[in-house]
Amino acid sequence: MTELRVDQYSAVVIAARRTAISTRGMRLARLGVEQLAAPVLRACRADAERAIGSPVVIADVVLGNCMGPGGNIARRAALGAGFDVSVPGVTIDTQCGSGLSAIISATDSIRADSTRGNFSHGSGPRLILAGGAESASTAPLRIANGVPYARAAFTPPGFPDPEMGPAAQDLAAASGIDRCRQDAYAARSHRRALDQARDGGFDDEIVALEALEHDDSPRRQILALLPRLAPLYPPARGLSSGTVTAGNSCRISDGAAVVAVVANSVRGNAPGLALVAHATIGCDPALPGIGPVAAVNRVCELAGLRLDDVAAFEIVEAFAAQTLAVLDRLGLAGGDWVDPRVCTGGGALALGHPWGASGAVSVVRLFTRLVHENAPAGSFGIATAAVGGGMGVAALFEVVR
């Protein structure tokens, strides 16, 4: 294994927060996307200042978003958070990978500035707040040629552009993943999320909005309901029945997640996650859910690591079928077995999937698992997501203390 070194120029996540995740139309439904993000931005800045022990200068706000009203949501959220008008903002759309892409962009920016000696401003260390936000409840209706549509095309004419549910079912068929395995994986996600919530494992992450202090999707009764739910889509070719159901698919949700990124040279004694390597790679748009496989393998190759060297994995669980197809190919699942390092507190199948935020939620979860839970310095974690249109994004982090 190649020995990794976090130098003074490295970008380090020193704080990580999120809202509770709420199903579309429920507890967070009256809040616009910038209203979801603004309180989390404030909380993350406050955590960062406590960690460093001094005020910070916010150099930028970078947020992922898929379906919002536009108008540069990151800038709107920065102003809504009460930040100085000099704080800019940039909004990124990589669909379900948007929040993770925003964090990657922020770390690259911090590292680039640091190599030029811009570690800090006269009034404090420079910091970028990055993550994602999505309000599926308030997403505007979109119209093209006078016809409303639910989402934009992920590919141009002449390329496959399947809906995500049927694409997950096709991937399950191609991978030999049956309904029983999908339901069992969904049940695992709910059990782990419920156990994590019971033990207070989400408490340090969540910024309460609308008096919502806990994710509203994990539910014990789903365990009994899973076998009874009807398939959502016609069967894939060669199968007698469909396998993707409402129970083994994520819930469309509202939520926001943000991390604070600084140069390693100014973090002082604050523990955190240093970005070691990242990759965004395209794949066959007909099977978009498989994208994380190449991205995860690429970050390990860049870092000189094996998957056995990684302490924690967080994958955006859009569908049990898609997640298992990825994990099987990575050697992190097979048959009834799922590697215990994967989504120890459950994932999007239980918590919900606020599209543009979910990749950032994965990094918040890594921060809790590795930093708050005292993993030793030098431990590694990977966050990854599949992207509509056929892509995968992954980021490899190392614990610093």
Q: Please, how many CA atoms are within 13 Å of residue 272, restricted to the half-sphere of its CB?
A: 28
Instruction: Provide the β-strand partners of residue 399.
Output: 273
Q: Is 190 marked active-site? A: no
The size of the chain, in residues, is 401
Q: CA-CA distances (angstroms) from residue 277 to 3, 98, 104, 147, 286?
A: 13, 17, 9, 42, 27
Residue 96 falls in the annotated catalytic set: yes
Q: Which residue, among 401, 320, 316, 400, has the nearest Cα to 364 in the 3D structure? A: 316
73-80 and 33-52 are packed helices; what angle lies between their axes, rounded to 10 degrees?
60
- No. of H helices and E strands in the chain? 10, 16
**97 neighbors 391 (Cβ within 8 angstroms):** yes
β-pairing, 142-144 with 147-149? antiparallel
Q: Which of 66, 300, 343, 353 is catalytic?
A: 353
Identified catalytic residue from 96, 250, 283, 343: 96
List, in order, residues 6 or more apart from 202 with CB less than 8 Å away.
196, 214, 215, 345, 368
Active-site residue numbers? 96, 353
